Structure 1
Amino acid sequence: MDTALVAGGALTAAGLVGYVAGLTSPYPGRAFSVTGVMVGITLLAIGYGGESA
């Protein structure tokens, strides 16, 4: 398993859960969930990109 792919999936999922939780009930630090989603998507892209040649 590719580490970036797994980390990206986990971070994206955690960020989405945090974002939905922030919509239902505001909590301190909820803006970090958006950052988690952005970093997670970036890691997913790196993981899917693979190695060239």
Structure 2
Amino acid sequence: MVQVVPYLIFAHSKEVLNFYEKLGAKVIEWSEIFGRFKCPYVISWMISGE
């Protein structure tokens, strides 16, 4: 059985975003979801395993 686990990683800089994008993360601007917060970006990432 394969489980998919969504979670969020908050990034404060473009360098961090670029790192996670290379790992296959989906990067979304934080303001698009909840408005303005301290963290400008949120990374939503899903992991599948057995």
TM-score scaled by structure 2? 0.23
The structure whose residues are more often strand, as a share, is: 2
Larger radius of gyration: 1
| TM-score after normalising by structure 1 | 0.22
